[in-house]
Every structure is written in C-alpha cells, then in structure tokens.
Amino acid sequence: MATLSLRITYSPAYTLVPTYECFNQCSYCNFRVQPGSDTWLSLAQARVTLRELKAIEILILSGEVHPHSSRRADWLEHIYALCQLALAEGFLPHTNAGPLGFEEMAKLKQANVSMGLMLEQLTPTLLDSVHRRAPSKQPAVRLEQLTWAGQLQIPFTTGLLLGIGETQADWEETLIAIANLHHQYGHIQEVILQPHQPGERQQQLGQPCDDAMLLAAVKLARQRLPDDVTIQIPPNLVQSSQTLIDCIESGVRDLGGIGPIDEVNPTYHHQSLKSLTDLLQSNGYSLQPRLPIYPQHDDWLSPPLKQKVQSWRTRLDS
C-alpha cells in the first residue's frame, strides 16, 4: 500500500526551442528538422511568450548545431541570451542542448540553475542502428558531459531512453555509470526513464516501450541508483494509469516538466494537472510543484541566481 500523502513532484515548466535544426538524424526523432531549414526563435518572440506564462522552469531545449559549424558560437550565444531573458522575466532556466564543450557548459552555468543531457544508453551497438546517423550520440561523448557537469558543479538531469534496441544489461551498465559519477561529484538530481513511444514524424516507427518494460527499468534503477537521486518518468508516455501508480510504488518520485506541449514527443499530450492530482490522491499520494534545482544544490549557484531561487522557494512555501 502507498504511504498516505507521499509527495510526488513535478516542475511547472514551459519549453522554449531556439531551433529545431539538428545535425543528428536519430531514427526515432520527432523533433528535428534539417539544418538551415529553420528560423531561430528570436528574443522578441520569446519575450512575448514569456510574459504570458504561468510557470517556474523555462526549459531551453535545442537541436544541435554541429561543433565545427561557423554558426556554433552564434547558436550558443543565442541560447545564453534566451536564458538571461528567462531570468529577467522571473523564471528559472534549465538548458538541454546536446553535448557541449567544457567552456560552453561553464558559460551556460552562469545563466542556468540546472542543466541536462540524456545518456540514453551507453551501448555502442546503437551506433549501428538507431544512432547510425547521429554523431553526437557517441556514448563516451555524452558520458563526458556528466563528468564535466560534476567538475563544474552544475546540478544535472540525465536519463535513459527505453525501447530503442538495448537490453536490460545495457540499462544496468548505464545506471551504474550514472551512479558512479554521482558518488564522485554529487550532482545528479534526477534520472529520467523515458519510454520510447512512436510518433508521427520519426523515420522508423519501431516498437513502443510497453509498460512492463518501463516498470522493470524503474525497479532496476531504484536498485542501482543512490537514494538521493530522484527517478522521474514522463506520465504522458506511460500507457496506463495503473502502470503510473505501479511505477510510483516501485520508486518513481517525480513526473518531470509538465507544460502545454511535449516538444520531444508532440504526439503524446500531457494529462491535466487536475487529472494527475486526482489519480495520485485516489492512491494515497499528493502532487506538488518543485523548482528545477533541488535544495541541496542551491549553494552551487552564483549569488544572483541563488537569490532568484530563494525567492521562488519562499513563494512555494507560502
């Protein structure tokens, strides 16, 4: 039985997409467009959007400009400017823009309260299948980001993509790698377990990650990850309400960013907060908003960022 009123969290979030263009071509992607075919989100457009929002977190989620592209520096500067704009409008930015250089991460740390990058899976076999045309999905490159985030004291979210051709042994390898880095640096806030669900725009449909696979991954993750790393699942990608509750019973404590659109999986709409709240309450849980940075990492922030975070903590506690 669930513990009465056990707290399950979510982030009231909105996603800003600087650009959908991406040089990777993952076969399951429903997000990317061809490089050069997209008009980047302007600061003026973003400002209009932000001033109409009720949210806390602004997820800056970008397609990837090639590291050797002549536009890479402009792209990073634009992401930084969007983060600064979000801060100026009273929100807390969290950036996920693919693998970054050490100096790029250090720059974005100045304007983000947290950052993220999905490991997906560390197995190199996916480079021969779903990641065959995705150079930045090299496992070592992505794992390096987690190391650098720890060295830079960036509160970080990572995760696994489930059902893209990996095995349970691959899950375990990836989870252990995350756990080892967290033991060294203490910077992993959340691990997302994201079930692949076929969308309308991907190159190859593939098979969905069914609920049994997701639940097995949750149970393994709770065994392999440190207790202070939160397990997160996106409720819009879970096939049944009962499985969502089963996952919570097995160790899930967070439902991620919930906003108008899931930009990565636009085919799958979020339930209303009322529906999720009612479902959880009927099973002995409460749904509570949180910030994109966990309290144990507040002291890693610069004084101006820490002040903005503390202001939000006061508002949520009141």
Residue with the two structure tokens 């050797």:
68
Measured CA to CA, the distance from residue 256 to residue 234 in angstroms comes to 6
In this predicted structure, the answer to whether residue 201 has a pLDDT above a threshold of 90 is no
Reported as a single tens digit per residue, the pLDDT across 142-180 is 999 999 999 999 999 999 999 999 999 999 999 999 999
Measured CA to CA, the distance from residue 52 to residue 211 in angstroms comes to 36
Question: Are 194 and 214 in contact, with CB atoms under 8 Å apart?
Answer: no
User: Looking at residue 2, what is its pLDDT?
Assistant: 46
Mean pLDDT calculated for residue range 103-115? 98
Measured CA to CA, the distance from residue 160 to residue 167 in angstroms comes to 12
Angle at 175 between CA 276 and CA 189, to 5 degrees: 55
- Long-range Cβ contacts of 309-315 (<8 Å, 24+ apart): 309/92, 309/113, 312/56, 312/92
Is pTM beyond 0.85? Reply is yes
Enumerate the domain spans of the chain. Answer: 6-292
Residues across the chain: 318
Using alpha carbons, select from 151, 39, 57 the residue that is nearest to residue 113. Answer: 57
Task: Give bridge partners of residue 161 from the DSSP assignment.
Answer: 194
* Region of poorest pLDDT, from 24-33, 61-70, 113-122: 24-33
Burial of 88 (0-12, 13-18, 19+ CB in 10 A): exposed
CATH architecture assigned to 6-292: Alpha-Beta Barrel (3.20)
Mean pLDDT calculated for residue range 283-296? 97
